[in-house]
Amino acid sequence: MTHDSAPVPEKGLFVEHVSHAYDGLQVVRDVSLTVPPGEILCLLGPSGCGKTTMLRVIAGLEPLQSGRVALDGAVLGDAVTYVPPEARSVSLLFQDFALFPHLTVLENVMFGLSRMPSAERRPRALDVLAQVGMDGYADAYPHVLSGGQQQRVALARARGPRPRLMLLDEPFSNLDFTLRRQVRDIVLTVLHASSSATLMVTHDSEEAMFMGDRIAVMNDGRIVQQGTPEQLYTAPGNAFVLGLFGEVNRMTGRVAQGHIQTPLGRLCAPGLPEGAAAEVLVRAEGVRPDDRAAARGIVRTSRMLGRSTLVHLDVDDGAGGALHVHARLPGRTMPAENERIGLGLIDEHVFIFPLADGER
């Protein structure tokens, strides 16, 4: 394949048309992305879609098979160039903290600073430990630290050499819910205070929205959409992206006179040709009790989930059957079981995408 090459930007990470196969099996397909200095880009996608492979190629741990990788204007890998990982000014942070058990916290961080003049290593190590709130543990060994503390030390070790690029691969996935929130906060603060470009892998959309200035959604080796968290949430380009950012109810139909008839009402389908097959996707938070609405459903169960209540409904499908629908209501609104209620939709949570015939 040949591509027009874009000029390499002077600053930040630049990845262009990268593809990768293991033993002939293609797992990364023509990925291009950029991360300016100081920005966090989250690579979000399901298990096996090629996220870790992307990081490994960028770090130089996998040989580049096609495309181009550059950092701060210098090519790290292309058809003729291969800069080894240790010469890339790239730091990696993975889910297994990989601290050396026989070294203290301070020694672990200093280990990453072997290229620095020896007199500067100790103060720099203490400085980055202080940034993550772990300077009080400088002389402790890793086994006495909690998982969250170990991950903070690993972050300090990765930050120590002032890398121009940080690569984070599911860095919080070994931490329980509460610790994850604490460590995420610290990592975000430390990264925002630095001028490194950061590429972070996650399969958790909430985490991607929390951490990312921008998000690149990956599926089956390809980037399917890139944008700010708000852009991806409010204007998902397809059903896959929409489905990553919350639970959706799915219906299908055909466009007739610019509209699609669904069990939840007749919806406007602008831009779709007459007779086209389409899928209508409604976020669970887009379904609301509404006495004036024509759509009717029977409440099967209601479950309080803390800040919201999830209501399971069977909605008349207009053909003598029922469509199972989930509605997420704010607060503690709890419709009674077996109650028959009217259902309305909130426009901003309703999406219509064309379907290829046969896809229904």
Ligand X SMILES: Nc1ncnc2c1ncn2[C@@H]1O[C@H](COP(=O)(O)OP(=O)(O)OP(=O)(O)O)[C@@H](O)[C@H]1O
Interface residues toward ligand X, by CB under 6 A: 22, 27, 45, 47-53, 203
User: Considering beta carbons, is residue 92 or 280 the nearer one to Mg ion?
Assistant: 92
Q: Choosing among Mg ion, ligand X, none, which partner's interface includes residue 273 (Cβ < 5 to 8 Å by kind)? A: none
User: Considering beta carbons, is residue 52 or 249 the nearer one to Mg ion?
Assistant: 52
Tell me the closest approach of the beta carbon of residue 226 to ligand X, in angstroms.
16
Candidates 2, 59, 69, 60; CA nearest to 31 is 69
User: Considering beta carbons, is residue 52 or 149 the nearer one to Mg ion?
Assistant: 52
Residue nearest to Mg ion (CB): 52
Tell me the closest approach of the beta carbon of residue 112 to Mg ion, in angstroms.
23
Sign of the CA dihedral with 74 first, then 78, 79, and 83 last: positive
How far is residue 180 from each of residues 107, 123, 155, 188, measured CA to CA in Å? 25, 28, 14, 12
Number of H helices, E strands in the chain: 8, 20
Between CA 141 and CA 105 the distance in angstroms is 6
Tell me the closest approach of the beta carbon of residue 245 to Mg ion, in angstroms.
20
Q: Choosing among ligand X, Mg ion, none, which partner's interface includes residue 277 (Cβ < 5 to 8 Å by kind)? A: none
Tell me the closest approach of the beta carbon of residue 44 to ligand X, in angstroms.
10
Binding range to Mg ion, per CB under 5 A, among 51-59, 79-87, 277-285, 304-312:
51-59
Q: Choosing among Mg ion, ligand X, none, which partner's interface includes residue 49 (Cβ < 5 to 8 Å by kind)? A: ligand X
User: Considering beta carbons, is residue 95 or 231 the nearer one to ligand X?
Assistant: 95
Q: At what angle do helices 177-192 and 147-159 cross, to 10 degrees?
A: 20
DSSP string, 235-302: S-SSHHHHHHTS-EEEEEEE-BTTEEEETTEEEE-TTPPTT-EEEEEEEGGGEEE-TT-S-EEEEEEE
Question: Which residues sit opposite 352 in a β-bridge?
Answer: 280
Q: Choosing among Mg ion, ligand X, none, which partner's interface includes residue 227 (Cβ < 5 to 8 Å by kind)? A: none
Q: Choosing among Mg ion, ligand X, none, which partner's interface includes residue 47 (Cβ < 5 to 8 Å by kind)? A: ligand X
User: Considering beta carbons, is residue 91 or 262 the nearer one to Mg ion?
Assistant: 91
Tell me the closest approach of the beta carbon of residue 165 to ligand X, in angstroms.
18
User: Considering beta carbons, is residue 52 or 108 the nearer one to Mg ion?
Assistant: 52
Tell me the closest approach of the beta carbon of residue 132 to ligand X, in angstroms.
25
Indicate whether 52 belongs to the interface with Mg ion (CB under 5 A): yes
Q: Choosing among Mg ion, ligand X, none, which partner's interface includes residue 159 (Cβ < 5 to 8 Å by kind)? A: none
| Cα Rg, the chain, nearest whole Å | 25
Tell me the closest approach of the beta carbon of residue 263 to ligand X, in angstroms.
35
Between CA 164 and CA 187 the distance in angstroms is 16
CA distance between the termini of the chain: 33
How far is residue 351 from each of residues 169, 217, 234, 314, 327, measured CA to CA in Å? 31, 18, 10, 21, 16
- Interface residues with Mg ion (CB under 5 A)? 52
